[in-house]
Every structure is written in C-alpha cells, then in structure tokens.
A and B are shown apart, each in its own frame.
Chain A
C-alpha cells in the first residue's frame, strides 16, 4: 500500500519534470550520460581491486603493534629495569659483607707484620717531612735575626 503511494508520488514528480522537458529529451540526456568506453566496468573492477591490493601492501608495510603487544612490551621493559635494580642492590650488599668478612678473617699477627714491614717506609717519610720543616724554620730564624740587626 505504502509502496503504491510512493510509486504514484514518483510518477507525479516525473510528470511535473516532463511538463518542462519532454520525456524523450530527459531520456536522451540520460542516454548521453550513459555513453562510456567499452569494457569500462570490467576494467574499472580490475583497477579498483588493484588499487586496494596496493593499499593493503602499503598498510602492511607500516609496523603496527596491537594493544596487547604494547602492554607486553611495557611489562617486559619494567621487568628488565626492576630486575637490574634488584641485581645491582644485592651485588652491593654482597661486596660489603665480603670486605667485612675479609677484615675479620685476617689474623692479628698478619696485620702486625704488615704494619711493621711498612713502618720503616712511614718513618722515612715522616723524617724527611720533619727535616724539611726544620730547615724552613732555620731560614725563618736567620731572616728574623737579620731584620732585627738592621733595625737596631
């Protein structure tokens, strides 16, 4: 029923247009628009499919990561950073313990021996420093005496 009414309306509208231009003229306008190269639609179909294939290739060329992939990358990155931090921390702790243990494990006799061996070197150094300071003091005294003599 509705379809019939629609069809009647369409025919009425067409009739109004055909009052301005004849049906033949309107039809020949359409015929003119229908003039297309032969095999156009077959070629068009092939062309479109070709365009789409190259479009797909282009899109495949662009490296896209799905959301779950992005999350996986972020998680593994975080894991690497966290485990590196933990590893460094435990290594530092281990080396402190190692130093403490090694000092505690050295026998007192060994420490004494080390100190007495290096005592001579330390003595030499100290003696050289004292001699140097002594010479400086002597020079200073000589200068002071000269100055006091001059003023007198």
Chain B
C-alpha cells in the first residue's frame, strides 16, 4: 500500500502512471464526490463535476510540486470546478428566471422533500441559499472536519477569512430560519 506522495512520484516519473493514478482515485474519489454533491445536490451534476476534476488531476498532476498535501490540492481543484459549474448554472437561471422559480418550487416540494420533516426542508433550503464560498466552507468544516488552515488553502483565502466564512454561514442560516 503506497501513500499519496509515493504514488505522485511514481506518476510524475512515468512509472506505471495509470496504476498510480488509479490508486489515488480509489483513495480519494468518495470524499471528492460527496463534497461536490453537498454543493450541487443533484447526482448527475456531481458526477459530471467529479469527472472533470479527475481528468484535470490527470493532466495537471505532473506539475504538482507537493508543497501542500495532495488531498488539499485535490479539494481545491474540486472547489474551482464546483464554483465554475454553479456560476454557469446561475447564468442559465438568470436567462430564464421564470423557469428557475419553477425549479426551485419543485425542488422544495419534491417527493423526497415531502417525506422529510419541515425542519429538514428548512435546513436544505438554508444550505442552498448560502453563498457558494460560505457553503463550501461550512461543508468542509462540519462534515469533513478540516482545520481552518486546510480550508483556507482549498478556498484560496486566509485562515481568518475561512473562519469568518464559517461564522457568516451560521449567521445567515439563522437569519433564513427566522425569516421562514
């Protein structure tokens, strides 16, 4: 069983490149997928983004200098790809605002959501209404239990900025709960 660093060296030296990549994929694919899924909620979207993330990892891993942990770098790639996706989604939604409101209603009153408790729906809505960065930071802190240093390198901010994002996310969710 190799660790990430050994696998990356193997990959960069071109020794059984595909084997090294497959092992990295096996180690990390679930964490990457679930982090993306928490952000976009739809499986098909998460699958598309995860695919793009791993293809990017394949093409950029040769240039990875191991200045940070591989998992941090990987989450950063995932973060950027997710943000790109969400921005494109926003643009499309702005182009057809009426469709968006219909989608939102459907999402809120979908068959799965009906089964959930009202608080569950409120939680989902609150999370979805958070700005992308705050949402990403909240997920990394609450579900992945990452320290702020790692979160800061993933999201390209300072430790203080990452802390502020988490606290703002909580504040915003509280406001949304009170409002609804």
Which residues of A pack against B, CB within 8 Å? 6, 9-10, 13-14, 16-17, 20-22, 25-26, 28-30, 32-37, 40-41, 44-45, 47-49, 51-52, 55
Contacts and interface: CB of A to CB of B under 8 A. Distances in A.
B54 interface: yes
Nearest to B57: A48
Contacts of B51: 44, 47-48, 51
B120 A28 contact: yes
A42 B145 CA distance: 26
Given A10-B147, A41-B29, A49-B18, A25 B142 contact: no
B164 to A, nearest CB: 12
A13 B174 CA distance: 14
B26 interface: yes
A49 B17 CA distance: 11
Contacts, number: 80
Contacts of A17: 138, 142, 170
Contacts of A44: 29, 33, 47, 50-51
A16 B174 CA distance: 11
Nearest 7 interchain pairs by C-beta: A6-B147, A48-B54, A33-B37, A21-B123, A10-B145, A33-B38, A52-B58
Given A14-B142, A21-B173, 4 more contacts: A10-B147, A20-B177, A28-B120, A33-B37
B55 A52 contact: yes
Given A21-B123, A51-B51, A55-B58, A41 B30 contact: yes
B141 A10 contact: yes
Contact of B119 (A21, A32, A45, A48): A21
Contacts of B47: 40, 44
Contacts of A34: 34, 37
A151 B177 CA distance: 133
B166 interface: yes
B22 A25 contact: no
8 contacts: A14-B142, A17-B138, A20-B177, A21-B173, A25-B119, A33-B38, A35-B43, A45-B29
B143 A30 contact: yes
A29 B29 contact: no
Contacts of A51: 51, 55
Nearest to B148: A9
A29 B58 contact: no
Contacts of A32: 112, 116
Interface string B144-178: 01011000000000000000001000100110010
A29 B123 contact: yes
Q: Which residue, A9, A13, A16, A51, has most C-beta atoms of chain B within 10 A?
A: A13
Contacts of A13: 141-142, 166
A22 B120 CA distance: 10
Contacts of B75: none
Nearest to A36: B43
